[in-house]
Structure 1
Amino acid sequence: MGSPSGPPFDPDDPDRERRDRDTEPIPRVRPDDIPGPGPGPGFADGPPFSDDAGYGDGPFGGQARSGRAWVRDPEADYQPPQISEEELAGLRVDASGMPLGPRRVLPLEDEPSSLVARYLFPTERYRGEWKRHWIHLTTPILVGIGATFVLGYLSGFLAGRDVGALTTVAVLLWFAVMGWVAWKVADWWYDRFILTNKRVMVVNGIVTRKVAMMPLARVTDMKYEQSPTGRALNYGTFVLESAGQDQALREIKNLPNPNELYLRVVEEMYEPQAVEARLGKEADEAKADDGA
């Protein structure tokens, strides 16, 4: 008996088995039966299906004969950026617009020292003063230590030879060297780098005082340099460039905390309102503490 649309049925037909195998219906594949990265045994929790795409677009390369292709939804893989609390602290501000996070610039001094106050005029606002790093005294200290050992040994040697005049000369020479060391230490103590809201200054000298200054408005470029030793001991050299040709203040060596000082100068040049807001807030907090 034959099929209404095909040839008559022939049990001896050698191609019958092949035709029956080729005409078998394609089984439907459920998403739950396909393994995937989902939490369950199937792929029900995996990426969504799409009926608009053709075969071969999914992760199985067209081998899964399902009428629905695998298409990954971009929004399904989206993860919001992870921001730590420390990073968020730098973005939070108070009512005055000042950051609530950790302070990058140390608090400013309230009043200048008597050494510096004489060089400030009434309308400018004091921002800080710094002595040079103690590394500035390396040469005098090494000379003093070396002279003590050498001249001390020489004095003892000459005293044993009963040469009193030469012993006296060695002792006087040692006093002269130590006086020079003391002079260098005093000169270091009176040497100050000063910052105001209008200019930077360097004041030095004991007998002959020298005052060099540069207006902040004329500073066109500023940088600081740190050698490996400077990075280890936290000091550096500042270089200021000005629009003028002759500069009374260009290179300042051996300044302590160069990064802190750099932030202060740059903030004073480009964000003076932020400095004023911070100073006003600190003054209010100080008054509140005094009142409490």
Structure 2
Amino acid sequence: MTTPEPPDGEDPGRRWEDQETEQFARPLDDPSEAAGGGDPGVTAGGAYYVVDEPLPLTDEELAALRGEPLAPPLVPSRRVLPLEEEPSSIVQRYLFPTEKYRGEWRRHWIELIREILIGVAATLLMGYATGYMAKHNISSGVTIVILLWLAILVALGWRAADWWYDRFILTNKRVMLVNGIVTRKVAMMPLLRVTDMKYVQSPLGRLLNYGTFELESAGQEQALRKVDNLPNPNELYLRIVEEMYEPEAVEARLGRISEGEFDEDDGT
């Protein structure tokens, strides 16, 4: 068997191996073992190569070999956002002591788009009407228009306050929907009863990052079945699915976060 030679013009500082015998090639310390007349550049598998000097290890690689902890990456790979520590005062009263709070969300501001448009249109009409009536010396009409405009703003403000108190809540046991200011409504569904879940995003929802969640429970009608206009639907979907199927992963992540914060406070 003849010894393969390096290609013409090949840089002697580069390594070249026979592709068919690459897995069998090994450098030989003893030139007498070389196949091909004692050429030290030939391996037992018949591959010719020139041995390069090994590349030096970086500080991070040396730290990993010594078992030292590595610095956190600049861009975190976490697929879900950090969990909130404490529920708000609006939500706290609806949680029992052994229940573990996972997060709460207000509906997306798109929920108020109709009220925003009505407020802008009413303001423009009020300005035009009061200007017209003031020009024609209709003082009583100006007063009526301003009072109507204030009434519209009060109604829109009440609707905005209702949106503020409307919360979607996730715990380790259930999902909840709380809404209403004077008449409070609380709907909930145990996570163990959820048999199917999906979220839908329209083109506008994908642009503004909101969606509609639909939850099914054993084919029965539930109080909490469809929730419109929730923000960050992919984030919320991951939270719910992880809580349903991998609750120990949530607990483990919470433990790592707490330990990391403690170490950082200690300055270690």
Give the TM-score normalised by structure 2.
0.72
- What is the identity, as a one-letter code, of the residue corresponding to 1:162? N
Alignment counterpart, residue 214 of structure 1, candidates 185, 189, 206: 189
Which residue of 2 is the match for residue 192 of structure 1? Answer: 167
Q: Distance in 2 between matches of 1:47 and 1:239?
A: 57
Which residue of 1 is the match for residue 53 of structure 2? Answer: none
Matched, 1:146 2:121: yes
Alignment counterpart, residue 134 of structure 2, candidates 159, 163, 188: 159
Give the TM-score normalised by structure 1.
0.66
Matches for 1:166-245 after TM superposition, within 5 Å: 166-243=141-218, 245=220
- What is the identity, as a one-letter code, of the residue corresponding to 2:142? T
Matches for 1:256-271 after TM superposition, within 5 Å: 256-271=231-246
Which residue of 2 is the match for residue 110 of structure 1? Answer: 85
Cα-Cα RMSD: 2.7
Q: Distance in 1 between matches of 2:218 and 2:149?
A: 48
Which ranges of structure 1 fall in alignment gaps of 5 or more residues? 1-29, 33-37, 49-99
Which residue of 2 is the match for residue 288 of structure 1? Answer: 263
Deviation, structure 1 residue 156: 1.4
Deviation, structure 1 residue 163: 2.0
Which residue of 1 is the match for residue 99 of structure 2? Answer: 124
Deviation, structure 1 residue 39: 3.4
- What is the identity, as a one-letter code, of the residue corresponding to 2:167? R
- What is the identity, as a one-letter code, of the residue corresponding to 1:177? I
Which residue of 1 is the match for residue 7 of structure 2? Answer: 39
- What is the identity, as a one-letter code, of the residue corresponding to 1:142? L
Provide Cα deviations, 1:188-218, integer angstroms capped at 9, x if missing partner.
1111110000000111111111111111011
Which residue of 2 is the match for residue 276 of structure 1? Answer: 251
- How many residues end up aligned between the 2 structures? 209
Provide Cα deviations, 1:63-110, integer angstroms capped at 9, x if missing partner.
xxxxxxxxxxxxxxxxxxxxxxxxxxxxxxxxxxxxx97111111001
Deviation, structure 1 residue 287: 2.0
- What is the identity, as a one-letter code, of the residue corresponding to 1:108? L
Q: Distance in 1 between matches of 2:20 and 2:94?
A: 74
Provide Cα deviations, 1:261-286, integer angstroms capped at 9, x if missing partner.
00000000000000011111111222
Q: After the TM superposition, which parts of structure 1 deviate over 4 Å for at least 4 consecutive aligned residues?
A: 45-48
**Local SS of the residue matching 1:231:** helix
**Local SS of the residue matching 1:211:** strand
**Local SS of the residue matching 1:245:** coil
Deviation, structure 1 residue 288: 2.0
